[in-house]
C-alpha cells in the first residue's frame, strides 16, 4: 500500500513539476513582454495538440475549409428566378447582358451581378442581385420576360449551388427504338422513337392515334357533346383516316408529307407523330408484344386495328376447324 502511494506521489510530483515549469516559463515571457516568444510558445503548444486530434487530415481539413469559403452566404447577392418565354432562355440572357453593357456607364446602371440560363431549365432564367427591385429594373422592357415582371422567387441559399450543376441526360434511345407513355390519353401505349432532341430534352414519337370520333360528331349538337363529356371514355386506337374525319365535319389540312388535324401531325399511313418531354416516357425494358408489332407494320390508310385483330382471330379458328 505504501509502495503504491509512493508511486502515485512521485507521479503527482512529476506532473506538478512540469506544470510549475510551464507556469514559470509563461510568467517569464509575460514579464519580459516578449511577444514573439509568446506567440511561438502557443504555436508549439497547440500545433502538437492539433496534430494529435487530426492525424494525417490537416490537408483534407484545409481543402474542406477552402470549399466552404467558396459557398454563397448571407452577405452575398441573392439568386432570383424569373419566368421567361419557353425556348428563348439563352437569347433572353444575352439580351439582358447587352442591356447591362448599354447602361453600364450611365447615371442608372443595372444593379445586377450575373444572369444564368441553365440548359436543363425551361421557362426560367436566374438573375443574381442583392435586391428584388434591382431585378425588376433590369428586366423591365425585355419582351421575353414580360410574364415574369411582377413575380420573382428568391432561391434559398442552400439551393443556389444546385442551379449550376451540370445535368447530363444519358440516353441510349435511337430512332426505331420502343418506349411507352407514362400518363395521359396514351398511358401504357407503345410508341416508336422518331428522333430525340437532347437540347430541348424532348422526344418525337410515332404512335397510333386515339381520336374521339364521337366527340367530333357531337360538335353538331352542343347539348349532346356536353352530356358525353361527363363520362369520359378513352378512344380506341385507330389509324388516322382523313376522309372519315372530313365526313364528320373535321378540318384536315396538309403540311408537306403530313396531315394536320387539331394541331397534331399525321402521316399518310395514319400514324401520329408527336413530341413529348423525356420525363413522360418509359425507356427502360420496353418490349412490344407481337400484336403491337403487327400494328406498326405498313397498313392501308384508315384501317380499324381492332376489327383487323378480330378478323385475324376468326380466321385462326376457321383454320383449326378446317
Mind listing the pLDDT tens digit for each residue in 239-251?
999 888 888 888 8
Question: Which of 269 and 297 is assigned the larger pLDDT?
Answer: 269
Verify that 135 and 205 share a domain, yes or no. no
**φ/ψ bin of 147: left (φ > 0), alpha (ψ from -120 to 50), beta (otherwise):** alpha
The per-residue pLDDT for 58 is 47
Question: Which of 52 and 91 is assigned the larger pLDDT?
Answer: 91
The per-residue pLDDT for 74 is 73
Question: Which of 295 and 229 is assigned the larger pLDDT?
Answer: 295
Cell of 265: 401531325
Alpha-carbon Rg for the chain in angstroms = 37
> Among residues 117, 111, 78, 110, which one has the least CA distance to residue 94?
117
Average pLDDT over residues 299-305: 44
Verify that 198 and 248 share a domain, yes or no. yes
Strand 253-255 to 202-207 pairing: unpaired
Average pLDDT over residues 2-6: 40
Verify that 203 and 304 share a domain, yes or no. yes
Decide if 236 is inside a domain.
yes
Model confidence at 3: pLDDT above 90: no
pLDDT tens string 94-115: 999 999 999 999 999 999 999 9
Ramachandran angles phi, psi of 247, nearest 5°: -65, -25
CATH number at residue 140: 3.30.70.940
Q: pTM of the full predicted structure?
A: 0.42
Verify that 148 and 95 share a domain, yes or no. yes
Residues 21, 27: Cα–Cα separation, whole Å: 10
Residue at grid coordinates 385507330: 238
Verify that 236 and 137 share a domain, yes or no. no
The per-residue pLDDT for 226 is 56
Model confidence at 48: pLDDT above 70: no
Residues 71, 59: Cα–Cα separation, whole Å: 19
Q: Helix (H, G, I), strand (E, B), or coil: what is residue 266?
A: strand
The torsion of the CA quartet 8, 12, 17, 18, rounded to 10 degrees, works out to 100
Model confidence at 209: pLDDT above 50: yes
With a pLDDT cut of 70, the percent of the chain lying above it is 64
- Provide the 10 A C-beta neighbour count for residue 171: 14
Verify that 193 and 104 share a domain, yes or no. no
Model confidence at 234: pLDDT above 60: yes
Verify that 191 and 250 share a domain, yes or no. yes
Q: How confident is the model at residue 272 (pLDDT cuts 50, 70, 90)?
A: very high
Verify that 101 and 220 share a domain, yes or no. no
Verify that 97 and 26 share a domain, yes or no. no
Number of domains in the chain: 3
Question: Which of 261 and 1 is assigned the larger pLDDT?
Answer: 261
- Which of 163, 197, 212 finishes a domain? 163
pLDDT tens string 168-198: 554 578 899 999 999 889 999 999 999 988 7
Residues 41, 38: Cα–Cα separation, whole Å: 5
The per-residue pLDDT for 7 is 40
The per-residue pLDDT for 14 is 44
With a pLDDT cut of 90, the percent of the chain lying above it is 30
Range of the domain at 295: 178-317
Decide if 229 is inside a domain.
yes
Model confidence at 81: pLDDT above 80: yes
Amino acid at each position: 500500500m505504501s509502495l503504491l502511494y509512493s508511486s502515485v506521489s512521485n507521479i503527482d510530483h512529476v506532473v506538478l513539476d512540469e506544470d510549475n515549469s510551464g507556469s514559470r516559463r509563461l510568467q517569464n515571457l509575460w514579464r519580459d513582454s516578449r511577444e514573439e516568444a509568446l506567440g511561438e510558445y502557443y504555436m508549439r503548444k497547440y500545433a502538437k495538440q492539433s496534430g494529435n486530434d487530426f492525424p494525417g487530415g490537416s490537408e483534407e481539413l484545409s481543402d474542406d475549409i477552402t470549399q466552404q469559403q467558396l459557398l454563397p452566404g448571407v452577405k452575398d447577392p441573392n439568386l432570383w428566378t424569373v419566368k421567361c418565354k419557353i425556348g428563348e432562355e439563352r437569347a433572353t440572357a444575352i439580351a439582358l447582358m447587352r442591356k447591362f453593357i448599354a447602361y453600364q456607364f450611365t447615371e442608372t446602371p443595372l444593379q445586377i451581378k450575373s444572369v444564368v440560363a441553365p440548359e436543363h431549365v425551361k421557362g426560367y432564367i436566374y438573375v443574381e442581385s442583392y435586391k428584388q427591385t434591382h431585378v425588376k429594373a433590369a428586366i423591365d422592357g425585355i419582351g421575353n420576360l414580360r410574364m415574369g415582371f411582377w413575380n420573382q422567387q428568391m432561391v434559398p441559399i442552400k439551393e443556389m449551388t444546385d442551379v449550376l450543376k451540370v445535368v447530363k441526360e444519358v440516353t441510349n434511345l435511337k430512332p426505331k427504338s420502343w418506349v411507352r407513355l407514362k400518363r395521359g390519353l396514351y398511358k401504357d401505349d407503345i410508341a416508336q422513337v422518331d428522333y430525340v432532341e437532347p437540347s430541348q430534352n424532348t422526344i418525337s414519337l410515332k404512335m397510333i392515334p386515339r381520336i374521339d370520333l364521337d366527340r367530333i360528331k357531337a360538335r353538331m349538337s352542343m347539348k349532346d357533346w356536353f352530356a358525353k363529356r361527363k363520362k369520359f371514355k378513352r378512344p380506341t386506337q385507330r389509324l388516322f383516316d382523313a376522309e372519315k374525319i372530313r365526313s364528320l365535319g373535321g378540318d384536315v389540312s396538309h403540311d408537306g408529307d403530313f396531315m394536320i388535324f387539331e394541331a397534331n401531325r399525321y402521316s399518310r399511313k395514319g400514324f401520329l407523330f408527336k413530341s413529348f418531354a423525356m420525363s413522360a416516357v418509359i425507356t427502360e425494358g420496353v418490349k412490344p408484344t407481337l400484336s403491337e408489332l403487327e400494328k406498326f407494320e405498313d397498313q392501308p390508310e384508315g384501317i380499324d386495328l381492332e376489327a383487323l385483330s378480330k378478323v385475324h382471330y376468326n380466321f385462326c379458328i376457321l383454320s383449326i376447324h378446317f
